[in-house]
Chains A and B, each alone.
Chain A
């Protein structure tokens, strides 16, 4: 049974039952993410599992560990550039449509979404710098 109207091939291998059923295909909304520099590289859009393949994420579900964080509000994303690990980063915007994968709202206070990216969606070429 197809969960979504689009059949996806995922950018990273995902465990069974991942993404969760209540994740949805975006329809052109704009999301924000931090990148090391602009223009970004592929490494700016990979999950923690991809970055640390041998790490044992004991308290984070593997499905979540294989997603990327994006925000629906610029301010929420930009605020994170004040945190120690992100002070040098830039904020980019991305229009995510159905081809980009699926997203799930988590941490609603932060306007935060977990994004499971489709293999065919190239965020590096499709993003724009959001901060001046």
Chain B
């Protein structure tokens, strides 16, 4: 079984792609047949060095197939254009029909010269890349940074990206939203530092999809939208308030960090297929009034959750409940909000349909620092 890793050539669909087997061995695959139910590829296992030769246009596609490194070829078939599951079986080079071979001299197009290091890294890694630069007081005369400040900055940035991503998909069709919630699209990985500075190079944990898009870009675009307004705190606060919830809290907390630590923050990001990188910066002077204005707004940062479903558990003594939602069939559990004038008496398990209004609060686990969402029931009614 092979799984799509990267599309190299696209024409109405992927034509040449890189796929990986469960052991991580790369395969270069060429589309040879398409019909109503499946796509068929000829795939050749390929080393990183040989793939690099192909990417650098020093070897053509036909040569790679006619002279595989391990004398092994595969015929791989998708089921219903599902590129996460290419079902592969061995085929001898001599068994490959002539019409399945590319004509001699097919090379990848020449790469565009990257306009920035960020764009070059995004292209090379086939992922979204984010450079984040800090300049706290301890770094201004010497190449050093407080481990605490560096750790806090990375944590706050990842948290902001996570909640920006969640916010950016909230209005999508629920089926699509569930589909793209299956992978950790918001997750970032640090892969380098710029020498002599505290610019952290991060990449999206999930690479670009079949059409070269990286889902985390939704989060970056949302963060850009707010950060572009930093010189106009009122407009920025209005936008953050409109977006609300955990995104608002995360953005406020980042502004708090920038102003309290006195570290300007700048970032630059690019996707593999975008021609330019995008750049934003927030100074301490900009962050301070924004943080104060956001803190003054008690209404933002509260995340409300509306559930419709049937109860599977009610514990009046401890004030806990569990409800199976109609929308996705998942069970959600929570507690009573101690400040709300609501109780669980009279609620029926199993048969009655209820609408629950809850406040979702993020609680940080001691030790791991991991956030978990806890639901607090503030009102309910029978439907």
A residues neighboring B (CB under 8 Å): 16, 34, 47-48, 52, 54-61, 64-65, 68-69, 75-76, 79-87, 105-112
A69 touches B83 (CB 8 A): no
Q: Are A86 and B36 in contact (CB under 8 A)?
A: no
Query: Which are the 10 A-B pairs with shortest beta-carbon distances?
Result: A82-B103, A82-B106, A58-B82, A56-B80, A59-B83, A84-B32, A59-B210, A69-B11, A57-B81, A69-B12
Q: How distant is the Cα of A106 from the Cα of B111 in the complex, in angstroms?
A: 14
Instruction: Please name 16 pairs of A and B residues whose Cβ atoms are closer than 8 Å in the assembled complex, sorted by A.
Output: A48-B13, A52-B36, A56-B81, A58-B83, A58-B84, A59-B4, A59-B83, A60-B81, A69-B11, A84-B100, A85-B15, A85-B34, A106-B211, A108-B274, A109-B110, A112-B10
Cα–Cα, bound, A82→B63 (Å):
13
Within 8 A of A (CB), among B27-42: 30-37, 42
Give the shortest distance, in Å, between B7 (CB) and chain A (any CB).
Answer: 8
Q: Are B9 and A64 in contact (CB under 8 A)?
A: no
Q: How large is the interface on B (under 10, 10 to 19, 20 to 34, 35 or more residues)?
A: 35 or more
* B273 engages A106 (CB within 8 Å): yes
Q: Which residues of B contact A105 (CB under 8 A)?
A: 275
A94 to chain B, nearest CB (A): 15
Chain B positions 58-107 with a Cβ under 8 Å from a chain A Cβ: 61, 80-84, 99-107
B184 to chain A, nearest CB (A): 17
Residue pairs across A and B with CB atoms within 8 Å: the count is 108
Q: Give chain A residues whose Cβ lies under 8 Å from the Cβ of B101.
A: 84
Chain B residues with Cβ under 8 A from A75's Cβ? 109
**CB nearest neighbor in B for A75:** B109
CB neighbours (8 Å) of B281 from chain A are none
B250 at the interface (CB under 8 A from A): no
Residues of A within 8 A of B81 (CB): 55-60
Say what secondary structure dominates the interface of chain A: mixed
Using A47-B12, A68-B12, A84-B99 as known contacts, list a sample of 13 further A-B pairs with CB atoms less than 8 Å apart, ordered by residue number in A.
Answer: A16-B173, A56-B81, A60-B210, A61-B213, A69-B10, A80-B9, A84-B101, A85-B33, A107-B10, A107-B211, A109-B112, A110-B10, A111-B109
**Considering the chains assembled together, what is the distance between the CA atoms of A61 and B209 in angstroms?**
10
Q: Is the CB of B211 within 8 A of A85?
A: no
Distance to closest chain B CB from A59 (angstroms): 4
B 1-18 binary contact with A (CB < 8 Å = 1; else 0):
000100101111101100
A4 to B82, CA, bound (A): 33
- Does B233 make an interface contact (CB < 8 A)? no
Please give, as numbers and ranges, the residues of chain A lying within 8 Å of B13 by CB-CB distance.
Answer: 48, 60, 65
Q: Which of A52, A54, A60, A109 contacts B211 (CB 8 A)?
A: A60
Point out the residues of chain B lying under 8 angstroms from A112, CB to CB.
Answer: 10-11
User: B103-124 interface mask toward A, CB cutoff 8 Å, 1 = contact, 0 = none?
Assistant: 1111111111000000000010
Please name all residues of chain A whose beta carbon is closer than 8 Å to the beta carbon of B212 when the two chains form the complex. 106-107
Distance to closest chain B CB from A122 (angstroms):
19
Residues of chain B in range 175-218 having any CB-CB distance to chain A below 8 Å:
209-213
Determine the chain B residues whose CB is within 8 A of the CB of A56 once the complex forms.
80-82
